[in-house]
Amino acid sequence: MYEIAIIGAGPAGASAALFAAKAGKKTLLIDNDKGMTRRGWYENYYGISEIGGPDLVETGHKQAVKFGAELVSEQAVKLSPSGEGFVIESESGISYEAKHVILATGVLTDLAALAGVETKDGTEPRIKTVIAVNTEGKTNIEGIWAAGTVAGVSVHAIITAGDGAKVAINIISELNGARFVDHDVLKA
């Protein structure tokens, strides 16, 4: 069983996976590569002068995988409770079990709605429906969290990435039983 499974590997999901895996959590990242991020050109991402969407997405995937996240190319079609966590069923027929699930599905709320996760009207331009979350990123179902565009944050790559990191840090903290901080010191 994975400790944290993330559905969607745009900036929100991949950033969550990077933090989760780097913290030593058994992490799964499921993505069907139909997100919006690849289509953009980014000159407002702090710390990066300019970058194309494909490079931003692929670098994020590599960072998460480098720390041990398992990235699978799959369409998640069903999410339901199972034992002490959840089972995620994929289009290919493979099932994955996880204690915590982060929905980072961009503009899509269909999987969440099917699972009984509460949604609400979006407030950002062109985002019709989002998942209802509290300030930590928790949905109405204990153990299911949401991050990024689908959680209703401002539709900008740096904000969705930060939101994914925030939600992962909250889950890691819950699993560890203490607030989690990931700081590396400057290398010589």
Ligand X SMILES: Cc1cc2nc3c(=O)[nH]c(=O)nc-3n(C[C@H](O)[C@H](O)[C@H](O)COP(=O)(O)OP(=O)(O)OC[C@H]3O[C@@H](n4cnc5c(N)ncnc54)[C@H](O)[C@@H]3O)c2cc1C
Tell me whether residue 3 or residue 160 sits nearer to ligand X (CB atom).
Answer: 160
Let me know: does 3 contact 29? Beta carbons within 8 Å. no
Tell me whether residue 9 or residue 21 sits nearer to ligand X (CB atom).
Answer: 9
Give min distance, CB of 82 to ligand X, in A: 18
Q: Which residue is nearest to ligand X (CB)?
A: 10
Tell me whether residue 3 or residue 31 sits nearer to ligand X (CB atom).
Answer: 31
User: Interface residues with ligand X (CB under 6 A)?
Assistant: 7-13, 30-37, 39-42, 44, 75-76, 104-106, 108, 111, 148-149, 155-158, 160
Give min distance, CB of 112 to ligand X, in A: 9
Tell me whether residue 76 or residue 101 sits nearer to ligand X (CB atom).
Answer: 76
Give min distance, CB of 177 to ligand X, in A: 29
Tell me whether residue 37 or residue 170 sits nearer to ligand X (CB atom).
Answer: 37
Q: Which of 82, 115, 88 is nearest to 7 (CA)?
A: 88
DSSP assignment of 152-177 equals T--S-HHHHHHHHHHHHHHHHHHHHT
Distances (CA, A) of 116 to 6, 58, 112, 119, 145: 17, 32, 6, 9, 13
Give min distance, CB of 163 to ligand X, in A: 8
Phi-psi region at 29: left, alpha or beta (left = phi > 0; alpha = psi -120 to 50): beta
Give min distance, CB of 106 to ligand X, in A: 3
Burial bucket for residue 74 (CB in 10 Å: 0-12, 13-18, 19+)? buried
